[in-house]
Amino acid sequence: MTFYSEKSKEKNILEALNAYYPSIKIALNFSNVWELLVATILSAQCTDERVNIITKDLFVKYTTIPEYANAPLEEITYSIRSAGLFRSKAGYIKKSAQKILKNYSGHVPKTMSELLSLPGVARKTANVVLYNGYGKNEGIAVDTHVKRISNLLGLTESENPQKVEKDLLSLYPREEWGNLNHRLVQYGRDICIARRPKCEICVLKKECAHYQKTLQK
């Protein structure tokens, strides 16, 4: 399958992001794939900074999947109480631990379909776990930053995360998906900020459909 041409917008965007962020990794702190899954579940409607504060103590209190599975739900709930939707997330974490023990021999699944069978795990979370936990490019985790920037750049015209992901996957080769994902998220935090974008210093403005149409004079 042929993707971007040598001088295409898509290639220019990726090269600019790679130059801006020569090295980058996920902002969530974790020491194993289970902790990554827990942190990613917690990150829904919660900043990575807040998640890292929560997990600093959580990952000391509970160190194994069986400990989460057997812990009283109210204790997990209390431990993550500063996260948004903490009651639902506590249930997802405990039930996911129980299902992993029962169905997957105590190991976090390595496939999209198996991860999606876990409570509270949708495609975005599964993509994060597969790439950052197992190094597998199975898709792009579309969060608010990825969706916003992709629309502004003209890489998609959809607000639907599944459609945004599909559009991005059609534009970039598989080996670049996770790479692009990390950089779009970080760029949305650093430069293309929702309410106060720093367009004057943006390295993507030459390729940005929104900038060219509305801001360039």
Alpha-carbon span 154 to 2, nearest angstrom: 19
Same fold, 9-23+141-215 and 33-134: no
Q: How far is CA 98 from CA 45, 103, 106, in A?
A: 24, 9, 9
Q: What is the pLDDT of residues 7-37, one digit of tens each?
A: 699 999 999 999 999 999 999 999 999 999 9
Alpha-carbon span 128 to 124, nearest angstrom: 6
Among 124, 147, 167, 205, the one annotated catalytic: 124
Instruction: Determine contact, residues 139/145, Cβ cutoff 8 Å.
Output: no
Alpha-carbon span 33 to 37, nearest angstrom: 6
Boundaries of every domain in the chain: 9-23+141-215, 33-134
Residue 211 has a pLDDT of: 86
Among 110, 136, 143, 166, the one annotated catalytic: 143
Give the CATH fold of the 9-23+141-215 domain.
Endonuclease Iii, domain 2 (1.10.1670)
Instruction: Determine contact, residues 124/141, Cβ cutoff 8 Å.
Output: yes
Residue 216 has a pLDDT of: 64
Residue 4 has a pLDDT of: 56
Residue spans of the chain under pLDDT 50: 2
Looking at domain 33-134, which CATH architecture does it have? Orthogonal Bundle (1.10)
Specify whether 143 is catalytic: yes
Specify whether 61 is catalytic: no
Instruction: Say whether 25 sits in a helix, a strand or coil.
Output: coil
DSSP class of residue 106 equals T
Question: Residue 113 half-sphere exposure, CB side, CA atoms within 13 Å?
Answer: 0
Closest CA to 180 of 60, 64, 24: 24
Residue 200 has a pLDDT of: 93
Residue 6 has a pLDDT of: 56
Residues in the chain: 217
